[in-house]
Each structure stands twice: as C-alpha cells, then as structure tokens.
Amino acid sequence: MRMKWMKRILGAIVLGLVIAGLVWFAWPRPIPVDLATVSKGPMEVTVDDEGKTRVREIYTVSAPLAGMVLRVPGRVGDQVVTNDTVVAVMQPMAPSFHDIRSHEELQAALAAADAAVTLAEHEVHRIEKVVEFSRSDLQRAEALARTNTIAMKTLEKAKIDVETNEAALASARAQLEVRRSERASAAVRLTEPLTSSAGPTDSACCVQIRAPVTGRILRIIQESEGVVQAGTPLIDIGNPSDLEVVADLLSTDAVSVAPGAPVRIDGWGGSQLQGRVARVDPVGSVKISALGFEEQRVRTTIDFVDPPEAWSRLGHDYRVIVHIPVWNASEAITVPVAALFRKDDNWAVFAVTNGRTHLTPVQIGQRNNRVAEIISGLSVGDRVVLHPSDRIQDGVSVSERDIP
C-alpha cells in the first residue's frame, strides 16, 4: 500500500514538472530590440551628392582643314605654351577617286576648257592683227596730216581706233588667262590619289597646329594617325590649377540651394575642403539613375574657398562628395530616422516604457539621413525602438539587445 502511494506521488511530481516546463516554454518572453534615446542638440540638414572637378576653361583644338592628322607628339599632362608648342601636324587630304559618271563629266569639262583656251588664243591673234593695222593706219594719217592732205578729224579717228583696239587686245589677253586658269582647274579636278604630288615625306605640305593657350594637355581625342574632316576635335587643353566642382543635384534639392552657400567637400581621398556655391543653372535635364529611374537634375557649380595648396592633388574629372547646408538649429529634439515608420498617413514610433512598447504618433519637421526633428509626440529622454520588425506590436514586452 505504501509503495502504491509513493508511485502516485512520484507520478504527480513528474506531471507537475512537465506542466511547468510547458508553461515555461509557452510563456511570452521579451523581444530583444535595439533602443535609442530621444536627445536634444544641434542639428543640420544638408544636400549631399556626388560631384566632379573640372578645369574652368577648356580649349578644344580642332582640325582647321580636312586631311591626314599625324600621330599626336604629346601626352596627357604635358605642358604647352601659347603659339609655341606644336600639338598636332596635318597633311592636306589627297583627292578622292571618281566614279565613272563624275570622271566623264570632268573629262568633258576639261575638253570644253581646252576649246575655250583655243578660242581665246585665236581671238587674241585676231585683235593683234587689228591693232597692228590700226597703228600702220595712224602712221599714214600722221604723215598726210603734216602736208595738210587730210582733215584733223581723220587723224583723231585713227588715234581713237588704235586706243580702242589696244584696249580690246588687253581684254582678250585677260580673257585668255581666265580660260587657261579654268583649264588648269578642270585638270586638277581630274587628279587621282596615286598621282598626287604631295607625299608623306613632303614637309612643305604639312600644317602645324600650335597651342592656343598655355596649360596642359587634358585629353587627346584623336591620338593615332587618321583622316579627319575640318572641325574635328583633336585635343583638349586647360590649366589644372584653375579647378571648380560641378554637381548635378536633384531639382527638389536645388531649389533650396542659393548662390553663395557654403559647401563641404570630401570623399576625394584627402582632408575636407571648403567651397562656395557659385551658380545654380536655371534649367534642368533628365538623367538616368543607377537603378534606371529618370531623375530631373540641375547643374550646380562650386568654387574652392581653400587655397590651391590644399587641393593641389586634385585634377580634372576627379570624383568628390559635396555637402551643402540648407537648414540648421542649435537646440532641436531629434530621433534617429531608423525609429520612424508610417502609420496610415502619419509618422509613428514604438516608445518603450517599463519594458513594454507603446505605439506613439509623432510630428516631425526637418530631417537628414541620420536624425529627424521631433515637433510633438516625444520628449527628451524617451526610449524608442530602432528598425522595428513585424513582431513589434503595441504593448509587447521588449528588452534591449546586448551589443557585443
């Protein structure tokens, strides 16, 4: 009998332990979370974006004529001097091949030019004979006039005839030169590339292009030898010590940036630099973001405030990060933006009191990428949950996660 009661007591104890274990496992435990404290202090809102440096004045040297540009003798970074350094050498372009129709047309034009020259030569010969006759006639008239055999009017007419015929001869000779020039032009247009007299070793045929300004070569657009058309860009030249920063800001950010605003420049590999907004363009342009979205961007130009020695290692087209302050306050109640989330049409946070969460609507003012200004809903010293997950609801028990 005693053994039977002991078995019952032992069974009850085991059953109680099992029930206790089940209750312990089923009992809700505090959810570990990251907490932050609402604080009061200085706050600044900045427009942050990528920018790049550029030489303020870039001079692009272009081909003055169509032809063969030889390999550029210089390299990027070389110093050039105004009207002294040769930056490119060009040979005039050889004549191109003709198609059959053009060739026949040019041959016909050359034959017509030959005929016109022959006609002009015969006209000159004819007028020369007329001049020779009029001069002889004048000599006879002068001899007869000395003996008063003819009237003075006849003598004067003979003189006028000589002058008129000599003028006609000069005009005919000029016309002959015109026809000969036209024939030479037609003959040159028939020249084929292989019969061109200007060879690659003929230095007299080449055009030397000299630097328009003193500076350094920034970019060689046409480095190798090749045929280019007139106006083709060849080389960019500028002064690397005359730099500015250009940033394409979102149009929603650019409207809050004014010329003269201070700028902090970093992210270029050196210490932070100071700058000043010089100009905000009045027009925008569409840019495609890295994610493929269309964005309306506005070009903003920034001048360096620091002396050139502070940014002497920067060059043309270097990447930088610009920070332009647009708002600041010395005493602002702030909360990390990681604690904010949308509740209906309002902002809210999970405030923690005595280990339990409370859904708290808040009204925010200014914010940057780290903190937001609290207008109402929280007080200094309140604790809020950072990055609340879907497990965090109003009234749940939480505990601060240990940071290793």
pLDDT of 22 over the 70 cut: no
Residue 370 DSSP class: S
Give the model confidence (pLDDT) of 178-198 as tens digits. 999 988 888 887 776 654 444
SS3 state of residue 157: helix
Task: Find, among 316, 330, 284, the residue nearest to 217 by Cα.
Answer: 316
What is the enclosing helix (H) or strand (E) of 62?
A: strand 58-62
| Average pLDDT of the residues in 249-257 | 94
pLDDT value, residue 104: 84
Distances 197 to 100, 102, 228 between C-alpha atoms, Å? 23, 22, 20
pLDDT value at position 201?
46
Q: What band does 73 get if pLDDT is binned at 50, 70 and 90?
A: confident
Q: Which two tokens stand for residue 81?
A: 């001097």
Q: Which one is the CATH code of 31-41+330-400: 2.60.40.650, 3.30.420.40, 1.10.3720.10, 2.40.420.20? A: 2.40.420.20
Architecture of domain 60-93+198-238 in this structure: Beta Barrel (2.40)
Greater model confidence, 29 or 157: 157
How does residue 37 score in pLDDT terms, banded at 50, 70 and 90? Answer: very high
Residue 374 has pLDDT above 60, yes or no: yes
Model confidence at 400, pLDDT cuts 50, 70, 90, reads confident
Task: Give the range among 191-200, 228-237, 253-262, 358-367 with minimum mean pLDDT.
Answer: 191-200
Asked if pLDDT for residue 272 goes beyond 70, the answer is yes
**Is pTM, for the whole model, over 0.85?**
no
- Considering only CA atoms, which of 51, 49, 45, 48 is closest in space to residue 326? 45
Higher pLDDT, residue 198 or 374: 374
**What DSSP designation does 395 have?**
T
Q: Does domain 47-55+240-327 have CATH number 3.65.10.10?
A: no
The 10 Å Cβ neighbour count of residue 300 is: 26
Q: How far is CA 279 from CA 138, 258, 268, in A?
A: 85, 8, 22
User: Cα dihedral sign for 127, 131, 132, 136?
Assistant: positive
What is the full DSSP assignment across 208-277?
A: EEE-SSSEEEEEESS-S-EEE-TT-EEEEEE-TTSEEEEEEEEHHHHTT--TT-EEEEE-SSSS-EEEEE
Which residue is associated with the tokens 């930088």? 320
Question: Would you call 44 helix, strand, or coil by DSSP?
Answer: strand
At residue 304, the pLDDT reads 96
**8-state DSSP, 132:** H
Please tell me what DSSP assigns to residue 203: G
Instruction: Enumerate the β-bridge partners of residue 261.
Output: none
* Least confident interval from 108-117, 131-140, 147-156, 313-322: 147-156
The H or E element spanning position 303 is strand 294-304
Q: What pLDDT does 10 receive?
A: 73
Distances (CA, A) of 356 to 38, 79, 335, 400: 17, 71, 19, 11
The pLDDT assigned to 200 comes to: 47
Say what the pLDDT of residue 99 is. 76
pLDDT at residue 196 in the model: 47
Q: From CA 172, how far away is CA 163, in angstroms rounded?
A: 14
Question: For position 101, what pLDDT does the model report?
Answer: 85
**Measured distance CA(303)–CA(266) in Å, rounded:** 14
